[in-house]
Amino acid sequence: MSNTKKEAVATEEVTPQENTQELSNTNTQDLSTQNETLDIQALLEKSSQMESMDTIVSLSPESITLDKVGESFRGIFMGFGEMTVNDSSVEEGKRTIPCAKFLINKKMCINGGAVLISEIKGANVALGTPLEVMYTEKRGNVKIYRITLLG
């Protein structure tokens, strides 16, 4: 290993002292974890108020499918991700496919339709854009969608 590589490795090492903070003086002390600084006092305050907090949004995604021509949903586009689907043609019985993510009525919803994903990417839809997605027709085994901007 060259000296340059050794120096790079040495600068990336983190000592336990850098990641460990004493919590005895929580009024002024922050806890550093993975390049984030957390205000311990604020976290302690929030933790004592958990029972009175309202649910904001479920982050566990639900699959949203459109089964009949004319069905639609309205949601805020939240980007792309991956979802696991059953597939008996692979050894594991499951495979991972790309999906589009939408925020609908305080729930994260996902759809893995290849045409839908392609249309959203092709239209270069920005994160946070309100959309209506409508299933308009079926061509063979392919669902065709109409994507409309809302405002």
Q: What fold characterizes domain 58-149? A: OB fold (Dihydrolipoamide Acetyltransferase, E2P) (2.40.50)
- For the cut 70, the answer to whether the pLDDT of residue 138 exceeds it is yes
- Residues 29-52 have pLDDT tens digits of 444 455 567 889 999 999 999 999
Cβ neighbours for 70, distance < 8 A, ≥ 6 positions apart: 134, 135, 136
**Which amino acid appears at position 151 of this protein?**
G
- The 3-state DSSP class for residue 151 equals coil
The domain ranges of the chain are 3-52, 58-149
CB 125 within 8 A of CB 101: no
Instruction: Report yes or no on whether pTM surpasses 0.85.
Output: no
Strands 107-111 and 58-63: parallel
- Residues 17-32 have pLDDT tens digits of 333 333 333 333 444 4
